[in-house]
């Protein structure tokens, strides 16, 4: 009898011990999974914790009744359109300074386009993201032609040599590939936003944090008053940049665009892939990468639009809606500066 009771107790003890071992192993497994999830780091550096202000900071009271009445300040998909008079620079500078941002900025100067670098860089240092961290990436086939320009505090210029090309169209379209590789291989974890700007331009006024957004397009100065059927979209169905006559929101310039690293990477990769497919089919979109950019923006709506203040036209008359010119193409003779007019 004693022996039988001892065996029963031994079996029960074994069952309890097995249960404890199972529970311990299961808890260890759960803990391991939790630890693994905690240590996963995000790929992108974007640190937008919300638009946070502080007690005691004084600024002008905003109004829901008073504002610009001569222009639209929001799209049909509720993205803001930035014009003079639609934002409080003092307030938004205060808000964004708390986020400790870095803005990467790319510019290409090949061949005779190096003549525009001095005005571009000097004017940028007067007006472009003043007081914020900026890292310019200058791609050129003539590093020795880059002028010495004094950089402001927390502004850095990095010069990268790239091969010369015979056609300006190839230079223009090749930017998407270079931008894609730069973002993917270098900028993740180093910058929060990126803007891609043409070099044959000059800054005349503030361009700063009011322009930031996940995906940012600049409305082309030639077409901001035009109906969509006059937009110079690619109209040939054979091209992947094709947009039909009945489609279109705005016509965006290829001379300035930007956003978060993740969003601009997707944009550049998509445009580069579509241009490669077009090339394989012996077709080149009417306005090259700008045509593909407009196709992308049609189906991937920008989260913020910049008005033509952010890319005006020195070679044309003014417009009543333009209260200030922030950034503008400069007058030039295309036949003189392009390798293949």
* Residues with catalytic function: 290
Residue 111 Rama label (left phi>0; alpha psi -120 to 50; beta)? left
What are 288's two structure tokens? 């090259």
Please report how many Cα atoms fall inside a 13 Å half-sphere around the Cα of residue 192, on the Cβ side: 17
Sign of the alpha-carbon dihedral angle for 95, 134, 262, 275: positive
Nearest to 319 by CA among 305, 311, 308: 308
Whether residue 46 contacts residue 262, with contact meaning beta carbons closer than 8 Å, is answered with yes
Residue 192 Rama label (left phi>0; alpha psi -120 to 50; beta)? alpha
Q: How far apart are CA 261 and CA 102, in angstroms?
A: 11
Whether residue 155 contacts residue 134, with contact meaning beta carbons closer than 8 Å, is answered with yes
b/e per residue 89-118 (b: at least 16 CB within 10 A): eebbbbbbeebebbbbbbbbbbbebbbbbe
The H-or-E segment that residue 265 falls in is helix 261-280
The H-or-E segment that residue 298 falls in is helix 288-299
**Long-range contacts from 225-230, C-beta under 8 angstroms, 24+ separation:** 225/319, 226/251
Q: How far apart are CA 196 and CA 203, in angstroms?
A: 14
């Amino acid at each position: 009898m004693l022996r039988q009771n001892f065996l029963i107790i031994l079996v029960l003890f074994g069952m309890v011990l097995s249960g404890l071992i199972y529970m311990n192993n299961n808890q260890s497994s759960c803990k391991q999974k939790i630890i693994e999830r905690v240590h996963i780091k995000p790929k992108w550096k974007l640190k937008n914790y919300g638009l946070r202000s502080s007690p005691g900071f004084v600024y002008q009271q905003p109004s829901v009744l008073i504002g610009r009445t001569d222009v639209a300040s929001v799209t049909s998909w509720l993205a803001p359109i930035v014009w003079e008079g639609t934002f409080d620079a003092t307030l938004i500078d205060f808000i964004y300074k708390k986020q400790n941002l870095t803005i990467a900025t790319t510019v290409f100067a090949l061949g005779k386009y190096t003549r525009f670098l001095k005005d571009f860089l000097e004017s940028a240092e007067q007006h472009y993201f003043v007081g914020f961290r900026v890292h310019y990436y200058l791609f050129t086939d003539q590093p020795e032609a880059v002028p010495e320009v004094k950089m402001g505090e927390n502004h850095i210029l990095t010069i990268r040599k790239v091969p010369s090309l015979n056609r300006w169209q190839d230079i223009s379209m090749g930017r998407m590939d270079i931008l894609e590789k730069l973002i993917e291989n270098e900028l993740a974890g180093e910058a929060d936003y990126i803007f891609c700007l043409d070099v044959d331009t000059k800054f005349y006024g503030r361009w700063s944090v009011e322009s930031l957004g996940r995906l940012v397009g600049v409305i082309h100065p030639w077409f901001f008053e035009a109906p969509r059927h006059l937009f110079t979209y690619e109209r040939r169905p054979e091209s992947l940049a094709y947009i039909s006559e009945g489609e279109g929101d705005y016509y965006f310039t290829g001379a300035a665009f930007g956003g978060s690293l993740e969003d601009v990477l997707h944009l550049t990769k998509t445009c580069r892939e579509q241009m490669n497919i077009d090339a394989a089919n012996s077709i080149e979109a009417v306005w090259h990468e700008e045509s593909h950019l407009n196709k992308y923006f049609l189906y991937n709506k920008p989260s913020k639009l910049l008005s033509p203040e952010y890319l005006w036209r020195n070679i044309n008359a003014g417009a009543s809606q333009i209260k200030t010119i922030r950034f503008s193409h400069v007058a030039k003779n295309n036949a003189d500066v392009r390798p293949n007019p």
